[in-house]
Amino acid sequence: LFDRLNVIGIDLPPLRERREDIPALAEAFLNQAAVELEVEPKRLDGAAMQLLCEAPWPGNVRELENLCRRLTVLAPGGTVTVADLPSDVSTQSIGGESFQTWQRLLEQAAAERFARGEKDVLSELGPDFERVLLRTALGFTGGRKQEAARWIGWGRNTLTRKLKELDLD
Protein backbone atom coordinates (compact mmCIF):
# COMPACT_ATOMS: atom_id res chain seq x y z
CA LEU A 1 0.00 0.00 0.00
CA PHE A 2 2.81 2.40 0.88
CA ASP A 3 4.47 1.92 -2.51
CA ARG A 4 1.18 2.59 -4.29
CA LEU A 5 0.62 5.81 -2.37
CA ASN A 6 4.24 6.93 -2.49
CA VAL A 7 4.27 7.96 -6.15
CA ILE A 8 5.95 11.29 -5.57
CA GLY A 9 8.14 11.55 -2.49
CA ILE A 10 8.62 14.95 -0.90
CA ASP A 11 11.53 15.31 1.48
CA LEU A 12 10.67 17.98 4.04
CA PRO A 13 13.24 18.44 6.80
CA PRO A 14 12.00 18.86 10.38
CA LEU A 15 11.31 22.32 11.74
CA ARG A 16 14.47 22.28 13.87
CA GLU A 17 16.44 22.18 10.58
CA ARG A 18 14.41 25.06 9.09
CA ARG A 19 14.62 27.61 11.89
CA GLU A 20 14.44 30.49 9.42
CA ASP A 21 10.80 29.46 8.73
CA ILE A 22 9.73 29.75 12.37
CA PRO A 23 8.97 33.53 12.45
CA ALA A 24 6.74 33.37 9.36
CA LEU A 25 5.02 30.19 10.53
CA ALA A 26 4.44 31.57 14.04
CA GLU A 27 2.94 34.78 12.66
CA ALA A 28 0.70 32.84 10.27
CA PHE A 29 -0.45 30.47 13.03
CA LEU A 30 -1.16 33.37 15.41
CA ASN A 31 -3.21 35.13 12.71
CA GLN A 32 -5.05 31.93 11.80
CA ALA A 33 -5.92 31.24 15.44
CA ALA A 34 -7.12 34.82 15.89
CA VAL A 35 -9.44 34.53 12.88
CA GLU A 36 -10.83 31.18 14.03
CA LEU A 37 -11.36 32.43 17.59
CA GLU A 38 -12.58 35.88 16.46
CA VAL A 39 -10.07 37.82 18.54
CA GLU A 40 -7.33 40.34 17.77
CA PRO A 41 -4.14 38.67 16.53
CA LYS A 42 -1.21 38.49 18.94
CA ARG A 43 2.36 39.47 18.10
CA LEU A 44 5.57 37.97 19.49
CA ASP A 45 8.19 40.32 20.94
CA GLY A 46 11.82 39.84 19.92
CA ALA A 47 12.89 37.79 22.94
CA ALA A 48 9.90 35.44 22.66
CA MET A 49 10.54 34.96 18.94
CA GLN A 50 14.21 34.24 19.66
CA LEU A 51 13.25 31.49 22.11
CA LEU A 52 10.85 29.98 19.60
CA CYS A 53 13.59 29.97 16.97
CA GLU A 54 15.97 28.20 19.38
CA ALA A 55 13.49 25.59 20.64
CA PRO A 56 14.08 21.97 19.51
CA TRP A 57 10.48 21.38 18.27
CA PRO A 58 10.30 17.58 18.62
CA GLY A 59 6.62 17.80 17.64
CA ASN A 60 7.54 19.67 14.48
CA VAL A 61 5.19 22.20 12.83
CA ARG A 62 2.06 20.93 14.57
CA GLU A 63 3.67 21.63 17.96
CA LEU A 64 4.37 25.24 16.89
CA GLU A 65 0.81 25.59 15.60
CA ASN A 66 -0.65 24.29 18.89
CA LEU A 67 1.56 26.65 20.88
CA CYS A 68 0.35 29.62 18.82
CA ARG A 69 -3.28 28.63 19.43
CA ARG A 70 -2.53 28.31 23.15
CA LEU A 71 -0.87 31.75 23.22
CA THR A 72 -3.81 33.29 21.38
CA VAL A 73 -6.14 32.09 24.12
CA LEU A 74 -3.98 32.42 27.24
CA ALA A 75 -1.46 35.25 26.74
CA PRO A 76 -2.66 38.55 28.19
CA GLY A 77 -2.37 41.64 26.01
CA GLY A 78 -1.58 41.95 22.33
CA THR A 79 2.14 41.18 22.55
CA VAL A 80 3.45 37.79 23.63
CA THR A 81 6.55 38.02 25.83
CA VAL A 82 8.92 35.37 27.14
CA ALA A 83 6.96 35.35 30.39
CA ASP A 84 3.87 34.22 28.42
CA LEU A 85 5.64 31.21 26.91
CA PRO A 86 5.10 27.87 28.63
CA SER A 87 8.06 26.70 30.68
CA ASP A 88 8.67 23.68 28.45
CA VAL A 89 9.48 26.03 25.54
CA SER A 90 11.36 28.70 27.47
CA THR A 91 13.58 26.25 29.37
CA GLN A 92 14.35 23.82 26.53
CA SER A 93 16.30 26.38 24.54
CA ILE A 94 18.01 27.91 27.56
CA GLY A 95 19.90 24.71 28.34
CA GLY A 96 21.73 22.31 26.09
CA GLU A 97 22.64 23.43 22.60
CA SER A 98 22.07 27.21 22.87
CA PHE A 99 24.03 27.34 26.15
CA GLN A 100 26.97 25.62 24.49
CA THR A 101 26.67 27.95 21.50
CA TRP A 102 26.99 31.14 23.54
CA GLN A 103 29.90 29.67 25.47
CA ARG A 104 31.68 28.81 22.22
CA LEU A 105 31.06 32.33 20.90
CA LEU A 106 32.45 33.84 24.10
CA GLU A 107 35.50 31.58 23.93
CA GLN A 108 36.04 32.58 20.30
CA ALA A 109 35.72 36.31 21.07
CA ALA A 110 38.18 36.01 23.97
CA ALA A 111 40.63 33.91 21.93
CA GLU A 112 40.60 36.44 19.07
CA ARG A 113 41.40 39.27 21.45
CA PHE A 114 44.16 37.29 23.17
CA ALA A 115 45.63 36.37 19.76
CA ARG A 116 45.79 40.09 18.90
CA GLY A 117 47.70 40.66 22.13
CA GLU A 118 44.91 42.63 23.77
CA LYS A 119 45.02 42.96 27.54
CA ASP A 120 42.20 43.58 30.01
CA VAL A 121 39.73 41.70 27.79
CA LEU A 122 37.16 41.47 30.57
CA SER A 123 36.73 45.26 30.58
CA GLU A 124 35.41 44.99 27.00
CA LEU A 125 33.57 41.66 27.12
CA GLY A 126 32.08 42.21 30.59
CA PRO A 127 29.97 45.24 29.58
CA ASP A 128 28.90 43.44 26.38
CA PHE A 129 27.72 40.51 28.49
CA GLU A 130 25.89 42.86 30.87
CA ARG A 131 24.18 44.64 27.94
CA VAL A 132 22.87 41.34 26.60
CA LEU A 133 21.79 40.24 30.07
CA LEU A 134 19.99 43.54 30.72
CA ARG A 135 18.21 43.59 27.35
CA THR A 136 17.10 40.00 27.80
CA ALA A 137 15.86 40.54 31.36
CA LEU A 138 13.97 43.69 30.39
CA GLY A 139 12.43 41.89 27.41
CA PHE A 140 11.51 38.95 29.60
CA THR A 141 9.81 41.23 32.15
CA GLY A 142 8.14 43.51 29.63
CA GLY A 143 10.40 46.42 30.62
CA ARG A 144 9.70 46.23 34.35
CA LYS A 145 13.04 47.33 35.80
CA GLN A 146 12.54 46.21 39.39
CA GLU A 147 11.51 42.72 38.28
CA ALA A 148 14.42 42.57 35.80
CA ALA A 149 16.82 43.52 38.61
CA ARG A 150 15.50 40.63 40.72
CA TRP A 151 15.90 38.17 37.83
CA ILE A 152 19.51 39.25 37.34
CA GLY A 153 20.27 39.26 41.05
CA TRP A 154 20.87 43.00 41.37
CA GLY A 155 19.20 45.70 43.37
CA ARG A 156 17.06 48.34 41.64
CA ASN A 157 19.76 51.00 42.08
CA THR A 158 22.42 48.76 40.53
CA LEU A 159 20.21 48.12 37.51
CA THR A 160 19.54 51.85 37.09
CA ARG A 161 23.27 52.61 37.33
CA LYS A 162 24.15 49.86 34.83
CA LEU A 163 21.55 51.14 32.37
CA LYS A 164 23.24 54.55 32.45
CA GLU A 165 26.79 53.15 32.31
CA LEU A 166 25.98 50.95 29.34
CA ASP A 167 23.93 53.62 27.49
CA LEU A 168 20.74 51.58 27.66
CA ASP A 169 18.51 54.32 29.13
* pTM tops 0.75: no
In a domain, 7, yes or no: no
State residue 157's pLDDT score.
94
DSSP state of 125: H
What are 15-29's pLDDT values in tens digits?
A: 988 999 999 999 999
In tens, the pLDDT along 13-64 reads: 899 889 999 999 999 999 999 999 999 999 999 888 988 998 888 878 999 9
CATH of the domain at 62: 1.10.8.60
Which of the listed residues 94, 129, 153 is the one where a domain comes to its end?
94
Q: How far is CA 3 from the centre of its chain?
A: 41
User: Following DSSP, what letter does each residue of 5-49 receive, concatenated?
Assistant: H-SS------GGG-GGGHHHHHHHHHHHHHHHHTSPPPEE-HHHH
Final residue of a structural domain among 48, 72, 94: 94
42, 86: one domain: yes
Same domain assignment for residues 83 and 112: no
Residues contacting 43, CB < 8 A, separation 6+: 27, 30, 78, 79, 80
**Domain tally for the chain?**
2
* Cα 132 to Cα 53: distance, rounded to the nearest angstrom: 18
Nearest to 95 by CA among 151, 140, 46, 54: 54
Q: Lowest-confidence range among 6-20, 84-98, 105-119?
A: 84-98
Q: Assign 3-state DSSP to the chain and report helix, strand, coil percentages, each to 5.
A: 70, 0, 30
Write out the residue range of the structural domain in which residue 128 sits. Answer: 95-169
Identify whether the C-beta of residue 44 lies closer than 8 Å to the C-beta of residue 85: no
Q: Percent of the chain, pLDDT > 70?
A: 93
CB 55 within 8 A of CB 66: no
What are the pLDDT digits (tens) for 82-93? 888 887 776 655
- Among the three residues 94, 129, 158, which one is the final residue of a domain in this structure? 94
- Which residues lie below 8 Å from residue 44, measured CB to CB, with a gap of 6+? 23, 26, 27, 30, 52, 79, 80
